[in-house]
Amino acid sequence: MTSTIPAAADADTLRFPAGFLWGAATAAYQIEGAVTEGGRTPSIWDTFSHTPGRVTGGDHGDVADDHYHRFREDVALMAELGLRSYRFSVSWSRITPQVTADGLGPVSAAGLGFYSELVDALLAVGITPSVTLYHWDLPQALEDAGGWPARATAERFGEYAAVVAGALGDRVPLFITLNEPWCSAYLGYASGVHAPGRTDDAAALAAVHHLNLAHGLAAAAIREAAPAAKVAVTLNLAWVRPETDSALDAEAARRVDGLQNRVFLDPILHGSYPADVLADTAGVSDWSVVRPGDLEIISAPLDVLGVNYYSPTVVRHWTRERPRETADGHGAGAATPWIACDDVEFPHQPGPKTDMGWSIDPRGMTELLLRVARERPGLELMVTENGAAFPDELQPDGRVRDPERVAYLRSHLAAVHAALEAGAPVIGYCVWSLLDNFEWAWGYAKRFGVVHVDYTTLVRTPKDSAWFYAGVARDNAVPNPSA
Ligand code: FCB
């Protein structure tokens, strides 16, 4: 592979703090394939993707990027790009393939062995692993027993966290309990555009609480099994902006902020659910799933908050005079993920968009990092995902030219830098994603990788953005986008 890492111009570069963790992120079901190997049993995403009509093109993760067999090649690629950290997720169905609501069942040596070898391969080339314990791929048996709306799922998750932290905690310095519980709860159980595809608002709110509880139980389990490791959770916080300064648009923004941000931030950081969200949703749930003691578990100390940011969220009051606009970036299900938001709409925005139709506005990155920095001073922050899909093509000369992704990364890295300058304690950044991969309900139709994957040959080709990012990692600095 010929390295074409661009040199940083000395003037006008944005320098990052020494030791900043430049990394890439992936998730198990999106890249691994090998869905029946090592004793792995189905997850909700195996079932969902094999259900006709659920995923674009009928795509599924049976092979995906075949990372399960090619992980050494992928680690070598990251080393060549000079990455310092790698965030990956563990497939629960590989670790305890016989889990039921009543118990974890036997731990799979093959399952743990795969991730243990991956960790060793990373450490051998100086890449720090960050392990996400849950990136949406619930074992199907637990869904059959009620899924996240059932408390037993959270309890089993705590036990599973102890197993993984016990096996990897001597080498992994950071465990992220959950990835984006907003998506698991609302896209999985309210709008149904993600697995398991249910459309039941009360179930979705029960899932919200049990995901929060699962985080708390896992945090405690990690502390005990791996006392040296840091504990994190990754949230997809929304930068919610009312379209106008009218009181009605402000009310729409309050509701959306409550359901997406505060219903996770408040219990995790402050040990309580926001009173306005409980009131807004009273017609759907009495929240009796919250038991005495749960909030103490959920608000256990946190070392790092993972922030995923892609796109802004603009809302306005829906007057019902025109068909409702639903440009919230979360797919067009028949049902909405926005519970108790009957008067809210998400207007289409002018301006540049990615291939997902997501508006590009890096200001949200700065705003969200500063918001959480203000809300919990001293809590370390990590951008655990940020990136963009574009319809990249491998050119006959073997290059993938993706100037739009380079521009996206550059502007969002500048936004992270602005947050650092304003005092937000950001310790690292993971580009989403290392590889083109299975983009959930969109299948392989959306390419987020800085590395192109040919899905026929599975050949990996770093895009121009990979070399841009390699230069950033090498120089610990970003060429100033406005220069
Ligand atoms: C996030 C997910 C990640 C990927 C990106 C594009 O919501 O965590 O797996 O799909 O979006």
Q: For residue range 24-74, list pLDDT tens digits in order.
A: 999 999 999 999 999 999 999 999 999 999 999 999 999 999 999 999 999
Round to whole Å and give the CA distance between 63 and 70. Answer: 11
Per the listing, tokens 């993984």 go with 164
For residue 45, report the distance from its CA to the centre of ligand 1, in Å. Answer: 14
Mutate to test the pocket of ligand 1, among 88, 133, 180 (most ligand atoms within 8 A of CB): 180
Report whether 388 contacts 360 (CB < 8 A).
yes
Confidence of residue 1 (pLDDT cuts 50, 70, 90): very low
- pTM for the model stands at 0.97
Rounded to an integer, the average pLDDT of 337-359 is 97
Among the listed residues 328, 327, 414, 404, the one whose alpha carbon sits nearest the alpha carbon of residue 365: 414
Kindly report the three-state secondary structure assignment for every residue of 342-392. Answer: CCEEECCCCCCECCCCCECCCHHHHHHHHHHHHHCCCCEEEEEECCCCCCC
Structure tokens at 294: 């749960």
Peptide bond preceding 196 in cis form (omega within 30 of 0): yes
Residue 334, classified by CB atoms within 10 Å of its CB into exposed (0-12), middle (13-18) or buried (19+), is exposed
How many other C-beta atoms can be found within 10 angstroms of the C-beta atom of residue 335? 16
Pairing of strands 174-179, 128-134: parallel
3-state secondary structure of 263: helix
Q: What are the pLDDT digits (tens) for 13-23?
A: 999 999 999 99
> Which residue, among 167, 141, 134, has the nearest Cα to 40 in the 3D structure?
141
The pLDDT score that the predictor gives to residue 181 is 99
Asked if residue 207 has pLDDT above 70, the reply is yes
How much is the pLDDT for 3?
A: 42
Confirm or reject: Cβ of 436 under 6 Å from ligand 1. Answer: no
Q: What is the mean pLDDT of the chain?
A: 96
Q: Residue 434: is its pLDDT beyond 60?
A: yes
Taking a C-beta distance cutoff of 8 angstroms, is the pair 419, 12 a contact? no
pLDDT digit string (tens) for 145-204? Answer: 999 999 999 999 999 999 999 999 999 999 999 999 999 999 999 999 999 999 999 999
Q: Cα of 415 to ligand 1 centre, how many Å?
A: 20
Q: Which of 23, 365, 375, 405 is nearest to 176 (CA)?
A: 23
Q: Annotated catalytic, 380?
A: no
The whole-angstrom distance between residue 435's C-alpha and the CA centroid of its chain comes to: 15
Among 29, 435, 440, say which to mutate for ligand 1: greatest number of ligand atoms within 8 Å of CB: 440
Report, as an integer, the average pLDDT of 64-92.
Answer: 99
Report the alpha-carbon distance of residue 76 to residue 434 in Å, rounded.
Answer: 12
pLDDT tens for each residue of 375-414: 999 999 999 999 999 999 999 999 999 999 999 999 999 9
Between the CA of 322 and the centroid of ligand 1 the distance, in Å, is 31
pLDDT band at residue 5, thresholds of 50, 70 and 90?
low
pLDDT of residue 333: 76
In this structure, which amino acid lies at residue 328? D
pLDDT of residue 11: 61
Model confidence at 12, pLDDT cuts 50, 70, 90, reads confident
Give the separation between CA 444 and CA 394, rounded to whole angstroms: 15
Token digits of residue 277: 């969200």
Say if ligand 1 is within 6 A of residue 234 CB: no
- The pLDDT value recorded for residue 332 is 74
Which among 26, 330, 439, 447 is the best mutation to test ligand 1's pocket, defined by most ligand atoms within 8 Å of the CB? 439
Does the beta carbon of 208 sit less than 6 angstroms from any atom of ligand 1?
no
Q: In the predicted model, what is the mean pLDDT of residues 448-462?
A: 98
3-class secondary-structure state, position 106: coil
Residue 149: the pLDDT is 99
Question: Is pLDDT at 481 greater than 70 in this prediction?
Answer: no
- Segment 319-332 shows an average pLDDT of 92
Element (H or E) spanning 177, and its range? strand 174-179
In contact, 49 and 92? CB cutoff 8 Å: no
The percent of residues in the chain predicted with pLDDT above 70, rounded, is 97
Please indicate whether residue 29, judged by its CB atom, sits closer than 6 Å to ligand 1: no
Amino acid at 391: P
State yes or no: is 367 an active-site residue: no
Question: Can you read off the two tokens belonging to residue 164?
Answer: 């993984």
CA of 475 to the centre of ligand 1 (A): 27
Residue with tokens 């890492």: 5
What mean pLDDT is predicted for residues 426-452? Answer: 98
Q: What tokens were used for 285? A: 């749930």
pLDDT beyond 70 at 81: yes
For residues 343 and 317, give the distance between their C-alpha atoms in angstroms, rounded to a whole number. 6
471 CA to middle of ligand 1, Å? Answer: 24
